[in-house]
Amino acid sequence: RALERNELTLVYQPIVDLRSLEMRGVEALLRWSQPDGLVIPPRDFIRVAEETGLVHRLSQLAVRQAFDDLAGWWREFGHGPWLAVNISGAQFREPRFVPELQAMLEQAGLRPDQVHLEITEDVLIENLARNRAVLDQLDEIGLKLVVDDFGVGYSSMAYIKNFPVSTIKIDQGFVRDLEIDRDDQAITRTICNLSSALRLDTVAEGIEHPAQLEALRSYGCPLGQGYLFLEASGPDAIREILAGHPPWLERAAVAVQ
Ligand code: C2E
Ligand code: MG
Ligand code: MG
């Protein structure tokens, strides 16, 4: 029904350089906006879409829309962020996944390095032999691979070492109590050190307070996203930022002093 009625929309959350506070990327996140104004979060409907076999159609729609938005921003401003899209297990298992993705990139006129694919640890681990082949194809095309929600799944060092992964995304569960929880501080600092020693990029999720930003900067975490900067918002909010008006400078500058 959501597909028929065009009720699925995309919102974008900036991924910010924690030192310069400049936007580097955006993550596309799906929303189901019902006519009565109710917005259903993706965790509630993506699982259903996977179970009913609709997830591929739904994801194609999301990726195509996100590619169009991204291409539009680059055309309009001559520069722009990279785009991170979330890929579910069902998409990853779909044989048409890689060729369709490549076709959509070409249709939108995007370079592969403008797009990052976020995959959770359990999806990576699910079927090592098959996934390895898919990851290698994606890497060959030039798409960046991001391990999403790092630290709450298997946190396997072997796949980080052996798979063509470019970025680790620290799960927001470790960032939430970063101001007060010594264990979270130790875990987050260690993930940042590990990631940079392996020459990977690191993104921290769920930054809500200046103190969290301050801690992450002191650990050398290069990138982050969260409500401190901007909650996931419509494409016009991203255009505003590209036009030179990031809304977070005052809120986040406290920590930069
Ligand atoms: P995720 O990829 O880990 O996305 C991060 C989630 O954290 C998003 O929730 C985002 O809105 C939320 N978030 C961002 N900043 C903050 C913050 O400062 N504090 C807190 N508490 N939360 C923050 P959202 O949009 O509800 O998405 C939930 C999950 O649904 C995503 O987790 C992703 O796994 C999945 N998802 C979203 N869009 C898509 C999609 O297009 N395709 C697929 N396959 N999965 C998607
Ligand atoms: Mg994600
Ligand atoms: Mg995540």
- What's the confidence (pLDDT) of residue 255? 56
- What's the confidence (pLDDT) of residue 123? 87
* Mean pLDDT confidence for 227-241: 98
- What's the confidence (pLDDT) of residue 124? 85
* Residue 244 to residue 123: CA distance in whole angstroms: 37
CA 254 vs CA 21, 139, 175, 215, 249: distances in Å: 12, 39, 18, 13, 9
Pick from 47-56, 126-135, 159-168, 238-247 the range whose average pLDDT is largest.
238-247
| pLDDT for residue 257 is more than 70 | no
* Residue 80 to residue 71: CA distance in whole angstroms: 9
- What's the confidence (pLDDT) of residue 90? 86
Residue 208 Cα: closest atom of ligand 1: 18
Which amino acids bring their CB within 6 angstroms of ligand 1? 13, 29-30, 41-43, 46, 59, 62, 86-88, 118, 148-149, 172, 205-208, 225-227, 232
DSSP strand E in the chain: where?
8-17, 23-33, 39-40, 82-86, 115-120, 144-150, 167-170, 201-204, 223-224
In tens, the pLDDT along 77-97 reads 999 999 999 998 888 888 999
- What's the confidence (pLDDT) of residue 159? 81
Ligand 3: centre distance to CA 164 (Å): 19
Closest listed ligand to the CA of 46: 1
* Residue 35 to residue 190: CA distance in whole angstroms: 45
In tens, the pLDDT along 31-46 reads 999 999 999 999 899 8
- What's the confidence (pLDDT) of residue 196? 96
Please state whether 89 falls in left (phi above 0), alpha (psi between -120 and 50) or beta: alpha
% of the chain beyond a pLDDT of 70: 98
Closest listed ligand to the CA of 146: 2
Ligand 3: centre distance to CA 38 (Å): 23
Mean pLDDT rounded to a whole number for the chain:
94
In tens, the pLDDT along 109-164 reads 999 999 999 999 888 888 778 888 999 999 999 999 999 999 998 878 888 888 89
| pLDDT for residue 256 is more than 70 | no
Ligand 2: centre distance to CA 31 (Å): 14
* Residue 81 to residue 16: CA distance in whole angstroms: 10
- What's the confidence (pLDDT) of residue 68? 98
| Residues near 190 by beta carbon (within 8 Å), at least 6 away in sequence | none
Give the global pTM.
Answer: 0.96
Residues annotated as catalytic (active site), given as ranges:
205
Nearest Cα to Cα of residue 177 among 120, 215, 150, 217: 215
